[in-house]
Amino acid sequence: MKRHVAIIGCGHVGADVAFSLVTQNLADHISLFDINAAKAASEQLELQDMAALIGSRVHIDNNDASQLAADIVVMAVGPSKTQTVDRLRELDETAKAASMWVPKMLAAGFSGVLINITNPCDVITTLLAKQLELPAGQVFGTGTSLDSARMKRVVGTLLDVDPASIEGYVMGEHGESQFVAWSSVRVGGLPLTQWPQAAHADYDAMATAIRRGGWDVLTGKGWTSFGIATATAKLVDAVFSDARRVFAVSAMDSQLGVHIGQPAVVGASGIIHPIAIPLAADEQAKYQASAAVIRQAMHKIG
């Protein structure tokens, strides 16, 4: 199968997604799109130079609208300047920037899977699903996948355990109303609370560190890209391989009517199905409140 990925937006995130796909040999054909044609062309050229060094056989092109009929489209457009920890403040600009590509995708005959990164992720994912009118599950967002990875880093530091050994999810909005579903966190099969190091842990402080992790990177580095690009590459691989692996992603909650961060099975058609994990009463309340934030933002853009 020709694994064709189109990446819309060649900023730091989009470019690093392409880098991840090439270096991990996860795509056979990558099409780059950006409103700045010179940026897309330069990223293509550098990726081709790099591919020659690693022996990758991936084909790369740029800004050819016909290539929007890819198997997977990654939406990675961003704001002109990120200045605030609250991603919802980017909504007016990014909603317009993402929506402008929809007619071009439809004209090209796109019928594949769309993975949205553009923030505010849950709102833009809900908007794109509404505009594209694809079968349920074919449009989803990276959601709280990176936030869940940050949770594993924070918990791993607390317990002095490899983060890869930690299971659990950050849920809700990829933003200020997100929450750590502490009841879902397991390490070596044991609930986090059964580890001695967690007996006197400051869970509120850990949740704040997780929620603000991206902002901490951005204020020092100027942008964030490595983590979300890696998370996206994993999702692309899950679709192409029909992995049916569970990720924390922005998937449609049919009862609440919005895409929201939750665990879901990802395979060839996108979201196979969300997983309604049992939540503690306070966590369920936070989930409902976070969904309300997303719905309110959707009302602002119609």
Residue 149 contacts residue 231 (beta carbons within 8 Å) = yes
Active site residues: 174
Classify strands 245-253 and 258-267 as parallel, antiparallel or unpaired. antiparallel
Instruction: Tell me the C-alpha to C-alpha distance, in Å, between residue 212 and each of 83, 190, 207, 209.
Output: 14, 27, 9, 5
Residue 231 contacts residue 213 (beta carbons within 8 Å) = no
Amino acid sitting at position 45: L
Amino acid sitting at position 297: A
